[in-house]
Copies of this chain bind each other. A is one copy, B any other.
Amino acid sequence: MLVQAARQVIAERGLHATTLRDVAAAGEVAVGTVTYHFSGIAEVLAEVLRAEMRDYSEPIMASAAAAPEGREALRHMVSGLLADGRRARDHWRLWLDFWALSVHESAYAQWQREIYAQLHALVQRGYLAGYADGSLPCPAGVTPAAAGADSGRATAAADAAAREAAVRFVALMDGLVVQCYLPQAVISPATARELLLTALFPPSRPSLPASRPPEPSRPAPTGVPGGPTDRA
């Protein structure tokens, strides 16, 4: 498939360095064949993006949506989207090009807005379900009943709390992607998964709120040894 060939080229050279002739060569066809099936290079790239969403992202979302528990839904997303291996890495590197593209191409910006809206909604539902079924700890001011455990309908406050959690969840995931899938990454996907999963639960310290003995005897000089080290 030409789209797969194009995807391969993009993974190697990047979105902006991918030419019609590259795609044709990778697909072992002539350039005319590419322009025969697609209106232009832009349509090829758009199709790659669309296929990538369909093949990689959507199955994960579907399995998350089908999870019986809220916590399981979010866990599916974490393990699926922050997976090990080249597949996930290439997917996110492509997505990075997508981000940059959407800054100056309004059509892509609009599309991305829709994708994020769906993602937010899905994660929000996961949180709400988790609050309701007890698989996720409720934030302050929310009870399982308020999340819809009995009635099936969440209160406005629970809805807002779940939405805030969803925005944070998605942001944390996006940021971890940057740190674990770019070249020269300093953390592994496994570490990223762990960090994201622990964020699902408030790091409620094992009580002992008052038993911590030591008073900070002095203001502490806040040692800041070296300033931000410059580079040439």
CA distance A119 to B27 in the complex (A): 42
Residues of the B chain whose Cβ atoms lie less than 8 Å from the Cβ of A66: 224
CB of A80, distance to nearest CB on chain B (Å): 13
CB of A17, distance to nearest CB on chain B (Å): 7
Chain A interface, number of residues (Cβ within 8 angstroms):
103
CA distance A163 to B65 in the complex (A): 33
Enumerate chain A interface residues (CB-CB to B < 8 A).
Answer: 12-17, 58, 61-62, 65-70, 73, 93, 96-97, 99-100, 102-104, 106, 109-114, 116-118, 120, 122, 125, 129, 132-134, 137-141, 143-145, 148-150, 152, 160-161, 163-164, 167-168, 170-176, 178-179, 182-184, 186-187, 191-192, 195, 199, 202-207, 209-212, 214-217, 219-225, 227-231
